[in-house]
Amino acid sequence: MPEFVYTVVTAGGATSGQGGIMAIPPSSKGMPPAWVSYVTVDNVDNRANQAEKLGGKIVVPPSDIPNVGRFAVIQDPQGAVISIITYAKQ
């Protein structure tokens, strides 16, 4: 299996990423290319569960990204999707 490549995008001399680019992973086969927005939250697990309790859906369950933080993908009752993330403390 080829190595996973994730390119971090920065702007204006920033020391942390403002974006990232990657190939569609095998686990998402059939997904069209897309730009994904992330919202920083205080606790990914709690917020994903709250979204589900309010009628939303957890599309990708809370998962760790090594050296970055924890993320999840949630969907509202109308079908809109967004990613949430809690960054690891540096």
Distance CA 70, CA 24 (A): 19
Distance CA 67, CA 70 (A): 9
Predicted confidence (pLDDT) at residue 17 exceeds the cutoff of 80: no
Domains delineated in the chain: 6-87 (3.10.180.10)
Q: What pLDDT shows up at residue 1?
A: 46
Q: How confident is the model at residue 36 (pLDDT cuts 50, 70, 90)?
A: confident
Indicate the residue type of 48. A
3-class DSSP assignment, residue 52: helix
Q: What pLDDT shows up at residue 26?
A: 85
Distance CA 77, CA 65 (A): 27
Predicted confidence (pLDDT) at residue 4 exceeds the cutoff of 80: no
